[in-house]
Structure 1
Amino acid sequence: MKNIAKYIVIASLVSSAWACDDLFEPAIENIMDENKMDTDPRYVDQILGSAYILMPYPGVTGENNSDNRNDVATDDAVSNNIDNAYLTMATGGWTSRTGKSVDNWRDRNASIQFVNLVLKHVDNTVFANDEATNAMFRDRLKGEAYGLRALNMYFLLQNYAGLDASGELLGVQIWTEPYTAETDMNVPRSTFAQCMERLLEDVRNASELLPYEYSDAASANDVPEKYKAIGATLDGYNRVFGASTFLRMSGRIAQAVGSQAALLAASPAFSNGSGVTWETAANQAAAVLDHIGGPAGLAKNGHIWYSDSEVGNAPTETVSHAEVIWRSRHGENSDIEKECFPPSLYGKGRINPTQNLVDAFPMANGYPITESEGNYDSSNPYANRDPRLALYIVTNGSQLGINNSVINTGVDAGNNDGINKESGHSTRTGYYMRKLLRNDASPNPTSTVNKNHATTYIRYTEIFLNYAEAANEVWGPTGTGGHSYSAYDVIKAIRKRALGEGVEGGDRYLESIKGNKEKMRELIRNERRLELCFEGARFWDLRRWNSDLNTLNSTARGVSINGSSYNYIDVETRDYKDYMIYGPLPYDDVLKFSNIEQNKGW
């Protein structure tokens, strides 16, 4: 049996990647009986804060930040850290006892326990002396709880949904009430469709209770009518829903989570039994995108949201980049640079992009490098390429760091930046990651330069790509399904942003395939690979697409450069089995609870 105290203790032991306990006063620290929530409004907020602390996103600070990124378990990257858990998974060591899945199961269920506690007690708690402000506090906290429960269900389904021995698509157990010492935990998993029904209902509840985004209302006229009707004042509304609440779950974030979940459910690996169609997935994404005018609202510099100029040196905690739907607090550090810069810049070079990923970037005119119209030059392979290649990946001869140092990744490098040097921090593929790093930060221990960083949890480009994928499947490349934009319109905007205005003759490759649903699907998936690289998308994308074993087991490749000679090499083989389209439930839980059935193959 599990009990409430156990899960409250978990929160006190987990380090906060977001440091979101800073949002709660006083800090989360005491272990008290749950009924204290009825008389102590701060305790309700602290319990909800425990759910935030357990959110499933990579941290922006701390050692081994790069080890949280599952890209190194795909054909997009490898790690030079031999102890990396995803490296172990990708090379044959993924079992129901290993990998990141065990911790994720515990944390997601613990987080749901916290939000269920809040939902149980929040309407008994007095948060303010006046009735209107009290009602608004209750609405906000309930809305946050519903949104966080949907978020946790999405990640549980992504990690653990799968086929049972009979071929039925199962989800996870659905908990809508908090556990007690008497709760029978030995209950079977619900179907995937039942889990999605619960998730989308939570998204709807959160969207109804929360403002679309938190900001201070300028006048009493801006207070929503439903709160005016019960006597809410401008000061009271801003106290509850104002800018000071900016980084917490909002209606916009809840709808974005709904888009992520609906895309997962409509995808080939889950569509037979999810109850969710491509049309539903497209509409879920459009619900978010319509607020910014569709493709016209695509952030101009959204593909470089993490750069020095876009993060800025003095961001506020109540304003985000136009690309960002949800992010962490900013933290001033150089931790991720320490993990991922090349050795000459005092980094460990942990994430090494593959030749596979490099080859996925098209030419500057939009054509794949395999098409003759692209004019790819194998003797000068990085020339005239899609600008995103240089933005996201350090290639041989690239400049990086405060002093724009030239990085030599070849075998003839005079330092440890070269491929397969003995330092343990050199590249294994001939490439280093540039994306997510700030060029103006430095982990040099004698003259460290720290800069503001933030982890972006959800951004608009992902939702645009969600829409493009779903819309293409249900309405074809140029169909709109009643919306004002198509999959083609979205991809045109994304590629125009990346390639610039100066592509001679326009994006001729896109124009050549816009009438072909299969070619458009291939392009959308490749754009997703490029735009979301190193953001943890591809590992799950390959699985929800029900990719075959040849794709899952694509050998990670690199390049050994010596002068003007390019020798393409195999770096790391993948060893996935066909049942690994779906992940395993933790071994200990399946062993402990006889009614929890493991996914087929595990």
Structure 2
Amino acid sequence: MIGGMKKNYAWCCLILITCFVAVSSCKKAFEDKPLELLTIDYIFDENDPTGDQAFKWVTNIYSKIPTGYNRMLGGSSWAFNSNPRSNISLVPLECFSDDAVPSGDGNDGWNIIRGGYSPIATFDDTWGNCYSAIRAANIFLQNYQRVPWADSSRKVWLPNEARALRAFFYYELIRRYGGVPLLGDKIYDSNDRELLNLKRNSFEECVNYIVSELDRVKDSLRPDASLAGRATDADYGKMRKSIVLAIKAKVLLLAASPLFNPSSTPQKTFTGYAAYSAERWGAAADAAKALIDLGLYDLEANRYTLVLARANKEHIFFRMSDPRTDNVYAYYMSPPGFKPGNRNSEGRVSPTQEFVDAFPMKNGKPITDPTSGYNPANPYAGRDPRLEQTVFYNGAKWLQRPVETFEGGKDKPNDATLAAVQTKTGYYAKKFCANDSSSANFTVTFIRDGGFIPPWCLIRYADILLMYAEAKNEFSGPEATVYAAVEKIRQRAGLSPYTLPPGLTREQMREIVRNERRIELAFEEQRFWDIRRWKIAKSVYGTALHGVTVTKNANNTFSYAPKEVTTPYFTDAMYLFPIAIKETQVNPGLEQNPGY
């Protein structure tokens, strides 16, 4: 069944209660009305000109947007737990790409890496969450005009926000499953026989529907906030024209990509288009350019600003993280030898050697270039500054001491009691930690900001620039605007020179753009999806992944020897996710993805 739509009317009441029990400062005191009577009539009250409850209904749809940092299996978002050991299964999505693996032997993520998922045991099954959000949007659209809105702007903005959110959740579905059933504005109840035989729409139909909905609402949303106004805007992060344009660019880039826009063998309609079209790349480039041309966003000069400030130049679309008053993420990711406040760090994520090797030298040359200056005996010297910002490697300074990932070092002591957290690759993930190399304790990156906290960013401006460069290059080759977009990223990164060699071919620029996406957007849930939409996962992920064994020599130098860590199991079927068997059994018309 789709997102719980087979449940009876009590489902709706339960959702209503869940949505609003935790909400404080309501203009309607819940004590005046029993909770079991929180019905549609109560939410969309014909006698309430404030429309506060209807407003909160839309706010609850936002809460279904996926978060990141640590997540895996079953749901769309995961809250941090105050007991760090209870979340040991949670790792970033990049642990199922060629960028990292879980550090813990007993981590459930290893089942995913070994191919242990199917329609019976799904991986990242957001089907129900997305259709629940889509249903909630449809309920709002069907009922919002019953409210006598005193604030006429709410009457305009909120239904268009609901439509934009609905389009976003369809995007979340199609990048996992391909074509899915499009429900339009219909709200099914348990007596609808049609619900038992819903067919999947084609991928093309889904893309066209999502884009048409985004185009419909883009000029009828609350105005975009200026940079100066973002920090004090209580609704910053809610749907604006810029966010809608960003989602549209994402959708069209997905549609243009090789997985769904094959250049040779046509695929089934719900897994791609019937024939290749270069024009799809042009449409994706135009969509990204439309956002760039708004002039509302830019790159932050300091990349650490992205984890320290909610409102900044670069964040476009984000989900607010779960409230924290501590720096739990730093404990999760820091090497286990660090114990500030007498609390153990956990080093949950082990970046691969393949990922570390993707970072060029500071002069912009890849380490495979004989003229780059790369020294295998001192492999981290003179590298792209983003490496130090993203990875804990042997000798990197952290909390006033060097990281020790050499055999027997403080951060790889080969102690059986640390087997659950000790690095598998000789590296730990550092992304999203503050710049605490000289600090005595972790900086709290999840700082409250005017009642808010920093977000999990789904789309930022660097992503848009690289999306534009990718699409434009595929459509018309490496022209000047493609160079400019990529070089802007490299300049902010601190490469010198940051300029690219002139005269690059389309294929050479493609590889540069893909690598820039990998290192600039590391651990932001981009690589996982990129290697799938580019249809290269089987070659870069379904092969041996490596780390490094670091040995400390008698003269206090180090030796670095490559080692194989794992060979993930990946087949052509895995480019798409399986639809849970509970859905296909209830709905015989819902065709399963090939290979499952």
Q: TM above 0.5, one fold?
A: yes
Partner of 1:396: 394
Could you tell me how far apart the structure 2 residues matched to 1:438 and 1:81 are? 24
Partner of 2:175: 158
Partner of 2:239: 249
Could you tell me how far apart the structure 1 residues matched to 2:210 and 2:359 are? 36
Partner of 1:105: 127
Q: Percent identity?
A: 28
Could you tell me how far apart the structure 2 residues matched to 1:516 and 1:30 are? 64
Q: Judging changes above 3 Å, is the alpha-carbon distance between structure 1 residues 449 and 385 closer, same or farther for their aligned structure 2 residues? A: closer
Residue 536 of structure 2, aligned match among 524, 547, 557: 547
Q: Judging changes above 3 Å, is the alpha-carbon distance between structure 1 residues 439 and 120 closer, same or farther for their aligned structure 2 residues? A: same
Q: Judging changes above 3 Å, is the alpha-carbon distance between structure 1 residues 66 and 137 closer, same or farther for their aligned structure 2 residues? A: farther
Deviation string, structure 1 residues 37-84 (Cα, Å, up to 9, x no partner): 331523312322221121122257435398252100111001123454
Whether 1:367 aligns to 2:365 is yes
Whether 1:180 aligns to 2:180 is no
Q: Judging changes above 3 Å, is the alpha-carbon distance between structure 1 residues 114 and 351 closer, same or farther for their aligned structure 2 residues? A: same
Counterparts of 1:284-295 in structure 2, within 5 Å, are 284-292=287-295
Could you tell me how far apart the structure 1 residues matched to 2:206 and 2:25 are? 30
In the TM superposition, what is the alpha-carbon distance from 1:383 to its structure 2 partner?
0.9
Per the alignment, in what secondary structure is the counterpart of residue 333 of structure 1? coil
Partner of 1:195: 206
In the TM superposition, what is the alpha-carbon distance from 1:269 to its structure 2 partner?
0.6
Residue 39 of structure 2, aligned match among 29, 33, 39: 33
In the TM superposition, what is the alpha-carbon distance from 1:277 to its structure 2 partner?
0.3
Counterpart contact for 1:306–1:435, Cα < 8 Å = no
Counterpart contact for 2:16–2:39, Cα < 8 Å = no
Could you tell me how far apart the structure 2 residues matched to 1:598 and 1:487 are? 39
Residue 283 of structure 1, aligned match among 286, 294, 315: 286
Counterpart contact for 2:434–2:442, Cα < 8 Å = no
Residue 95 of structure 1, aligned match among 118, 122, 140: 118
Could you tell me how far apart the structure 2 residues matched to 1:84 and 1:26 are? 45
Q: Judging changes above 3 Å, is the alpha-carbon distance between structure 1 residues 340 and 548 closer, same or farther for their aligned structure 2 residues? A: closer
Q: Judging changes above 3 Å, is the alpha-carbon distance between structure 1 residues 217 and 338 closer, same or farther for their aligned structure 2 residues? A: closer
Counterpart contact for 2:258–2:535, Cα < 8 Å = yes
In the TM superposition, what is the alpha-carbon distance from 1:260 to its structure 2 partner?
1.1
Could you tell me how far apart the structure 2 residues matched to 1:523 and 1:209 are? 38
Counterparts of 1:8-23 in structure 2, within 5 Å, are 9=14
Could you tell me how far apart the structure 1 residues matched to 2:466 and 2:337 are? 36
Residue 69 of structure 1, aligned match among 88, 92, 97: 92
Could you tell me how far apart the structure 1 residues matched to 2:10 and 2:105 are? 37
Partner of 1:263: 253
Partner of 1:343: 336
Comparing 335-344 with 174-183, which one deviates more in the overlay? 174-183
Residue 561 of structure 1, aligned match among 523, 540, 550: 550
Question: What residue identity is the alignment partner of 1:94?
Answer: Y
Counterpart contact for 2:123–2:577, Cα < 8 Å = no
Counterpart contact for 2:227–2:313, Cα < 8 Å = no
Question: What residue identity is the alignment partner of 1:473?
Answer: E
Comparing 105-114 with 417-426, which one deviates more in the overlay? 417-426
Partner of 2:313: 322
Partner of 2:451: none
Counterpart contact for 2:122–2:580, Cα < 8 Å = no
Counterpart contact for 1:441–1:449, Cα < 8 Å = no
Could you tell me how far apart the structure 1 residues matched to 2:385 and 2:228 are? 41
Could you tell me how far apart the structure 1 residues matched to 2:227 and 2:508 are? 46
Could you tell me how far apart the structure 2 residues matched to 1:544 and 1:577 are? 14
Question: What residue identity is the alignment partner of 2:149?
Answer: F
Could you tell me how far apart the structure 2 residues matched to 1:213 and 1:571 are? 47
- Number of aligned positions between the proteins: 534
Counterpart contact for 2:122–2:579, Cα < 8 Å = no
In the TM superposition, what is the alpha-carbon distance from 1:561 to its structure 2 partner?
0.3
Counterpart contact for 1:79–1:352, Cα < 8 Å = yes
Could you tell me how far apart the structure 1 residues matched to 2:439 and 2:89 are? 15
Long gaps (5+) in structure 2: 1-5, 69-77, 263-271, 339-343, 448-453, 553-557
Counterparts of 1:107-256 in structure 2, within 5 Å, are 107-128=129-150, 133-134=151-152, 136-161=153-178, 170-183=179-192, 184-186=194-196, 187-214=198-225, 243-256=233-246
Q: Judging changes above 3 Å, is the alpha-carbon distance between structure 1 residues 269 and 381 closer, same or farther for their aligned structure 2 residues? A: same
Counterpart contact for 1:324–1:458, Cα < 8 Å = yes
Could you tell me how far apart the structure 1 residues matched to 2:120 and 2:29 are? 34
Deviation string, structure 1 residues 441-468 (Cα, Å, up to 9, x no partner): 9999xx9874535222321111111111
In the TM superposition, what is the alpha-carbon distance from 1:365 to its structure 2 partner?
1.1
Could you tell me how far apart the structure 2 residues matched to 1:573 and 1:77 are? 12
Q: Judging changes above 3 Å, is the alpha-carbon distance between structure 1 residues 550 and 52 closer, same or farther for their aligned structure 2 residues? A: same
Deviation string, structure 1 residues 160-210 (Cα, Å, up to 9, x no partner): 11xxxxxxxx33443422222333322101111111111112212331211
Could you tell me how far apart the structure 2 residues matched to 1:261 and 1:109 are? 18
Could you tell me how far apart the structure 2 residues matched to 1:8 and 1:101 are? 27
Counterpart contact for 2:89–2:108, Cα < 8 Å = no
Partner of 1:457: 458
Whether 1:429 aligns to 2:439 is no
Counterparts of 1:288-307 in structure 2, within 5 Å, are 288-292=291-295, 297-301=298-302, 303-307=303-307
In the TM superposition, what is the alpha-carbon distance from 1:323 to its structure 2 partner?
1.3
Counterpart contact for 2:104–2:422, Cα < 8 Å = no
In the TM superposition, what is the alpha-carbon distance from 1:574 to its structure 2 partner?
0.3
Could you tell me how far apart the structure 2 residues matched to 1:375 and 1:217 are? 43
Counterpart contact for 1:340–1:347, Cα < 8 Å = yes
Structure with the higher fraction of residues in helix conformation: 1
Deviation string, structure 1 residues 231-279 (Cα, Å, up to 9, x no partner): xxxxxxx9xxx93322322221121111111111110111254487001
In the TM superposition, what is the alpha-carbon distance from 1:548 to its structure 2 partner?
5.7
Question: What residue identity is the alignment partner of 1:188?
Answer: K
Q: Judging changes above 3 Å, is the alpha-carbon distance between structure 1 residues 347 and 175 closer, same or farther for their aligned structure 2 residues? A: farther
Question: What residue identity is the alignment partner of 2:488?
Answer: A
Partner of 1:408: 404
Could you tell me how far apart the structure 2 residues matched to 1:26 and 1:247 are? 26
Could you tell me how far apart the structure 2 residues matched to 1:427 and 1:15 are? 43
Partner of 2:450: none
Could you tell me how far apart the structure 2 residues matched to 1:594 and 1:101 are? 22
Partner of 2:526: 537
Could you tell me how far apart the structure 2 residues matched to 1:79 and 1:216 are? 38
Deviation string, structure 1 residues 106-129 (Cα, Å, up to 9, x no partner): 10110111111111111221121x
Could you tell me how far apart the structure 2 residues matched to 1:470 and 1:263 are? 7
Counterpart contact for 1:115–1:146, Cα < 8 Å = yes
Could you tell me how far apart the structure 1 residues matched to 2:437 and 2:118 are? 38
Partner of 1:438: 434
Could you tell me how far apart the structure 2 residues matched to 1:12 and 1:369 are? 56
Per the alignment, in what secondary structure is the counterpart of residue 590 of structure 1? helix
Partner of 1:571: 565
Counterpart contact for 2:362–2:384, Cα < 8 Å = yes
Q: Judging changes above 3 Å, is the alpha-carbon distance between structure 1 residues 347 and 119 closer, same or farther for their aligned structure 2 residues? A: same
TM-score by length of 2: 0.82
Long gaps (5+) in structure 1: 162-169, 219-237, 480-485
**Alignment RMSD (CA, Å):** 3.2
Question: What residue identity is the alignment partner of 1:262?
Answer: L
Partner of 2:494: 499
Counterpart contact for 1:353–1:393, Cα < 8 Å = yes
